[in-house]
Amino acid sequence: MTEQLNTTLSVRKLVARLVVVTVVMFGFGFALVPLYDLFCDVTGLNGKTNSEAFIPVAELIDTSRNVTVQFIATNNENMSWEFRPEVFSMKVHPGEEIETTFYARNPTSGEMTAQAIPSVSPGRAATYFHKTECFCFNQQLLSGGSAIDMPLRFIVDRDLPDDVNTITLSYTLFDVTETGVIQATSLTAL
């Protein structure tokens, strides 16, 4: 009889432990989300760039080197804005702070909010591409029919690997008029 009792007790203890494992693994599934973003942030994979303004330190400009920076502007599905870079490609020196603009126009009659999501290619250049000011840090509100030139200031890091000669910065513009959720997540995730 005591033996049976012992078995029941050890079964109970074991089951409790296994239930804890189950709950922890359920949590781990969700933990993969920040872990994934953290991993991409640290390694610069996935072309994820900083979502906060880079504070420039007085850097020397490496005039011996030219890097081509290309700009791409894409609309997400159902997004009706006109959206394009002012210049599509430029040559810059690493360390030099550059300013350019993107043009956006809301052709509809209603007020709309948009959010641009950046991505840098090749992915490993992402950590060397510093934005000191970017329209992607905030949502853009445009009344019907109005247009805006949105500024972007950036510095290409002087430590950019030697074999990277072209960096492509791509923006996808999302319509967030209704959801508005993008800002909260984008600031932490991107």
Nearest to 124 by CA among 68, 162, 72: 162
14 binding other proteins? (CB under 8 A): yes
Burial label for 48, CB within 10 Å (0-12, 13-18, 19+), is buried
CB of 99 to other proteins, least distance (A): 26
Token pair belonging to 168: 């492509």
Report the residue number, 30 or 64, with the smaller CB distance to other proteins: 30
Question: What mask, x for binding other proteins by CB under 8 A, covers residues 46 to 85?
Answer: x-----------------------------x---------
172 binding other proteins? (CB under 8 A): yes
Nearest to 179 by CA among 78, 83, 48: 78
- Give the interface segment with other proteins, choosing from 96-104, 137-145, 154-162, 169-177 (CB under 8 A): 169-177
- Give the interface segment with other proteins, choosing from 134-142, 143-151, 152-160, 178-186 (CB under 8 A): 178-186
Burial 129-158 (b: 16+ CB within 10 A, else e): bbbeebbbbebbebeeeeeeebebbbbbbe
160 binding other proteins? (CB under 8 A): no
